Structure formats: structure tokens, C-alpha cells
Chain A
Amino acid sequence: MARKEYAFYPGCSSQKGASASNYLTSVQSMCKTLDIKMTEIPDWNCCGASISYAEAGDLPRHVLNARNFALAETNLPGQDIVATCAACWLGARESKERLEHNSGLLADTQTALKEAGLNIQVIPAVRHMVEVLIEDLGYDELAKPVKKPLAGMKFAGYVGCQTNRPFGINGESFENPLYLDRLIETVGGEAVPYDQKVTCCGGALAFSEPEKAQAQIKDIIEAAYDGGAEMIVTPCPLCQANVEVYQGSINKKYGTKFDIPVLYYSQLMALAYGASAKESGITGNVVRARKLEEFAGK
């Protein structure tokens, strides 16, 4: 039996061939080393994300999350739900709180769930992968399997919004959370001073208001360079994509020369635990992390 077992909620972006599929790859490698067993919630559905509010309304959004709760509870009883995506975690956790504090909302949700042949008894805890790492294992345990410390490499720990607000990681401040820096240090890297650590990348508005979002992304990248970082690290799939894939467009518009890899914390951990470039998912980075590719090959 594995050391820890969880009901895994990967979310739409972490599916095979989707925009954060390399996040999933690295999480699988990291969890294997740490002896964490993640069982996918059977037939899980989208959380609705933050952006669907206009068309979704209130109840349908919570019902969508409630279906995942019911499926997890039925198929993986007693296991906490673990999400790797910031928006999935936020959406599901918000629904859990709302349903637990509003009996009318819960009753309506049960009525709707019945249409899909489902029912909720107890809503499982909804947790982020980072919470599992820090709270259930702890930094010392995370450091033990490090075979190849990322010595001499400088990272800007970009926490972003939704892994930080409104819930955040217990004990961390909203304005200057330190857990990501500590994770970087745990695998032997250097966390540089970074004043845009919790700035919003524009989120979904990178699609609908690209110019405004890209102006924000520009600040986020610039500050990473200013701090002396060689790479940016984040826990959020949307932060990762937004900060990575628009560098070319920003360079064109602002005359900058951005070319900075944007990684997931789990990729750093997998690499430090001895994973190959493929296993750590760095072959899935659009802005190639050449230094890490070389490191993985050694």
C-alpha cells in the first residue's frame, strides 16, 4: 500500500494532449517517488472554472462540482480530493463551503444530482497538491529523495492568484506567501527576490482582453529578470501557460527579448528526484528549459 492515497481530480487542462499535460506528467513522476497514490475520480467533469459565471449562474456551477464530490465519495470512500489545478481547487472548494453552509443550496443540489443518479452524504476535503506535499509530508520528507539538487539555479517563484487567494495555503500570507520559495530551496535551487510573486497574469482575460493581460504578463516576466532569475516556477496551469506562450507576442509589441522558461514546482521536484527530461515533462515546455534539459541528461 502506498504511503498516502487520494482521489485525484486532474481537471481539463491536465488531460492527455491538453495545455497542461506536462504538469500531469511531472506530478505522476513526483508522486511515484514520494509513494503517493493518486486514483482518478471515475468520469470526473469540468469544475466550470471562474470564468463561466455569466452563463452558469449559481446553482449549476455548484452542481457540477457536486457531481465530482458524489463520484469521489462513492468510488473512493474516505479519500481527500486532490486537485493540481488552481481553478479546479478553488471552484470545488468554494462549492464545498457553500453547500455545507447553505442547506437550501444543498437540497437543490441533491435534487439536481438525482437526475444523474447521484447523491451526496459527506463532501470529502478538497485539497491542492501543494497542501498534500507541505501538510501531509512536510519539507523534510520532500527533501529526502533528492538525488540531484538543482544547485546554482535561480528561480522566480511565481505563486499567482488562485493557489493563494481566497483560500491559500494554511499559515501563508496572501501578500507574500513563502511556500513556493521553500519548495525551490528544498530541491536545492535558489529562490530570487521577486516583487511580482502574487500579481495576476490576467487569467481567462488573456483570451478576451489580450492586450490588458499581456501588459500584466510583461510586468511579471520583467520582475523575474530583475531579480536575477533564469527561470520562473509556478503552481498554476493558467499562470504557466499565460506567462510562457505570450512571450513572443509581448516581444513583438514591446520590443523586449523575453525568453524565459516557465516551469511547474512538480517539474523541479521530479528532476531533483532523478527523473529524465521526458518524465519531468520539460519536453512539453514551449520556451525550452535548456539548462534543465542538460541537467536531466547528466
Chain B
Amino acid sequence: MSDLNQQMAARYQNNFLKEIEEQAEMGEWVKMCMQCGLCSGSCPTHFQAGWEHPPQEIFMMIRAGKREEVLSSSSMWMCTSCYNCYVRCPRKVPVTHVMHGIAEYTYRIGLSPKQQPTQHLSKTFWDNCTRNGRVNEVKLTQTLYFKDGIVSGIKKAMEMQSVAIGLVKSGRLNLMEALGGGHKCKDIKGIHAMLEKAKELEAQHKAEKAKA
């Protein structure tokens, strides 16, 4: 157990709903769910295999105190941010954001499944776009392909070769970005300072809530 996880488990003991309400973004909406299942029926990833628990099941599991099962589930990471559930929910639960919020929380306390590809993408994307203030698409793709090592990376790159060639030919993939060219903000220093402050404030508020 990570330190933060241990601390949270001790703080909230048998009240997992309260833990989600206080620690996960939009978590206070969980209790509004009336178990109609419209979110699950509306989810595009529902039609593909690979989904342990649909959103309404996650909501019920939270209320039933199934902490480990919820926080270690890969289900929240299946969200494509299509907002179908969000606009259809009869109780106006912002399901998309609740899923992101729970995913962020479980990632923060170190309980989320390791090697989850969308979790890896989430981190890679944020690191990439905040490094220079703008996304470097070539480096983003490289990092994603080579996450499981060189051999697998080369294989994936070969598979996607025709896609890449098409994009380069049509002027939509600038290979110079791989060499440190590419797009940058001028005030990178300011952006980094501002984001660092934001992280600091957010951590502070979450810690205060856990102490209260």
C-alpha cells in the first residue's frame, strides 16, 4: 500500500462514499445516481469487450463500500469522453467527469492498475503538452509506441508506417518535431511556475479535507 493510500484508508475507514465525495473531482454527485443504467447503455465502449463495471455499477459499489474493487478497476479508464452518459443522465449526474475524477484519485493514491494503456496516455499527454506549453505530436506518438520497450515499439511503428507516411506526405506530420523543433510557447517558465503553484494548491486543499 502506498503511503497516501494507507492514509486515506485510515482517514475514511468504512465510509468509502465520503472518501469519493471529498477526494474525487465531482465525487459529490455519486449519491444522486438512481441506478437506471442509461449511462451504461449509452457508453460506446460498452459495445466492445473489456469493461468490468459500467458507471451505474461503479456508483452502487461506491455506496456499498467496495473500495478495493472500485479503485483497482480498469473500468473508469475506458471512458472516451464522448459525453453521451453526461447529457442523457436523468439526474444530471456529470458521469464523464465523475469517471475522470475517480480515475484521477485512484491514480494519485497509487491503486490504479499498472500498465493501463489509457492511464499511460493520460500521463504522457499531460507531460508532453505542459513541457513546452503545446503538444509535440511526434514525440507523443513516439512515447506511446515505445512504452513497452524498443522491440514492441519498432513493431508498432512498422504497423503504423503507412499512416505516418500518409500524414508526412500531406504535410500533417512534421518529423522535425522529433529533433526538438516543433511548437513552443514563449513563456514556458511562467507556465511551469503557474502549474507548479496549481498542483501545490490542489494538494493542499485535498490534504485539508482529509484532516477535517
Residues of A within 8 A of B (CB): 12-13, 15-22, 43-46, 48-60, 63-64, 67, 108-109, 111-118, 161-162, 165-166, 168, 174, 199-200, 202-205, 207-209, 211-213, 215-216, 245-246, 248-249, 283-286
Asked if A207 contacts B144 (CB within 8 A), the reply is yes
Q: Which residues of A contact B183 (CB under 8 A)?
A: 12, 15, 18
Asked if A200 contacts B84 (CB within 8 A), the reply is yes
CB distance from B136 to the nearest CB of A (A): 9
The answer for the CA separation of A245 and B162 in the assembled complex, in Å, is 9
Range, interface on chain B? 35 or more
- The segment from B8-16, B28-36, B61-69, B189-197 found at the interface with A is B189-197
Asked if A204 contacts B195 (CB within 8 A), the reply is no
Q: Which residues of B contact A64 (CB under 8 A)?
A: 130, 191, 195
Which of B87, B174, B176 is the one whose CB lies under 8 Å from A174?
B87
Q: Check: B81 CB closer than 8 A to any chain A CB.
A: yes
Asked if A52 contacts B122 (CB within 8 A), the reply is yes
Q: Which residues of A contact B166 (CB under 8 A)?
A: 245, 286
Q: Check: B210 CB closer than 8 A to any chain A CB.
A: no
Asked if B198 contacts A112 (CB within 8 A), the reply is yes
Q: Which residues of B contact A116 (CB under 8 A)?
A: 187, 190-191, 193-194
Which chain A residue has the least Cβ–Cβ distance from B43?
A200
Asked if A46 contacts B86 (CB within 8 A), the reply is no
Could you say which of B81, B108, B123, B162 has the most chain A C-beta atoms within 10 Å of its C-beta? B81
Asked if B174 contacts A17 (CB within 8 A), the reply is yes
Contact pattern, B 94-117, Cβ under 8 Å of A = 1, otherwise 0: 101000110110011000100001
The answer for the CA separation of A18 and B139 in the assembled complex, in Å, is 12
CB distance from A213 to the nearest CB of B (A): 8
Asked if B171 contacts A248 (CB within 8 A), the reply is no
Q: Check: B19 CB closer than 8 A to any chain A CB.
A: no
The answer for the CA separation of A19 and B164 in the assembled complex, in Å, is 10
Asked whether A112 and B48 contact (CB < 8 A) given A52-B122, A161-B82, the answer is: no
Which of B48, B162, B169 is the one whose CB lies under 8 Å from A215?
B48
A-B CB proximity, top 9 nearest: A17-B174, A116-B190, A165-B83, A200-B82, A50-B81, A55-B126, A12-B135, A286-B166, A52-B126
CB distance from A283 to the nearest CB of B (A): 7
Asked if B172 contacts A117 (CB within 8 A), the reply is no
CB distance from B30 to the nearest CB of A (A): 16
CB distance from B206 to the nearest CB of A (A): 9
Asked if A202 contacts B134 (CB within 8 A), the reply is no
CB distance from B27 to the nearest CB of A (A): 11
Q: Check: B202 CB closer than 8 A to any chain A CB.
A: yes
Asked if B137 contacts A13 (CB within 8 A), the reply is yes
Q: Which residues of B contact A16 (CB under 8 A)?
A: 174
Asked if A51 contacts B81 (CB within 8 A), the reply is yes
Which of B100, B126, B194 is the one whose CB lies under 8 Å from A115?
B194
Q: Is the interface of B mostly helix, strand, loop or mixed?
A: helix
Which chain A residue has the least Cβ–Cβ distance from B131?
A46
Asked if A212 contacts B50 (CB within 8 A), the reply is yes
Which chain A residue has the least Cβ–Cβ distance from B200?
A112
CB distance from B64 to the nearest CB of A (A): 25
Q: Which residues of B contact A21 (CB under 8 A)?
A: 171-172
CB distance from B10 to the nearest CB of A (A): 22
The answer for the CA separation of A12 and B50 in the assembled complex, in Å, is 31
Which of B112, B162, B171 is the one whose CB lies under 8 Å from A22?
B171
Q: Which residues of B contact A54 (CB under 8 A)?
A: 100, 103-104, 107, 112, 119, 122-123, 126
Q: Which residues of B contact A213 (CB under 8 A)?
A: 80
CB distance from B187 to the nearest CB of A (A): 6
CB distance from B133 to the nearest CB of A (A): 4
Q: Check: B25 CB closer than 8 A to any chain A CB.
A: yes
Asked if A19 contacts B126 (CB within 8 A), the reply is no
Asked whether A208 and B194 contact (CB < 8 A) given A45-B185, A249-B163, the answer is: no
Q: Which residues of A contact B75 (CB under 8 A)?
A: none
Which chain B residue has the least Cβ–Cβ distance from A287?
B166
The answer for the CA separation of A215 and B84 in the assembled complex, in Å, is 18
Asked if B198 contacts A209 (CB within 8 A), the reply is no
Asked if B134 contacts A53 (CB within 8 A), the reply is no
Q: Which residues of B contact A205 (CB under 8 A)?
A: 45, 78, 80, 118, 121
CB distance from B95 to the nearest CB of A (A): 10
The answer for the CA separation of A126 and B194 in the assembled complex, in Å, is 22
Please give 9 more A-B residue pairs, beta carbons under 8 A apart, in addition to A15-B183, A204-B121: A12-B183, A16-B174, A52-B126, A54-B112, A59-B201, A60-B202, A108-B202, A207-B141, A284-B172
Asked if B129 contacts A46 (CB within 8 A), the reply is yes
Asked if B127 contacts A55 (CB within 8 A), the reply is yes
Asked if B82 contacts A286 (CB within 8 A), the reply is no
Asked if A208 contacts B198 (CB within 8 A), the reply is no
Asked whether A45 and B44 contact (CB < 8 A) given A57-B104, A115-B196, A209-B117, the answer is: no
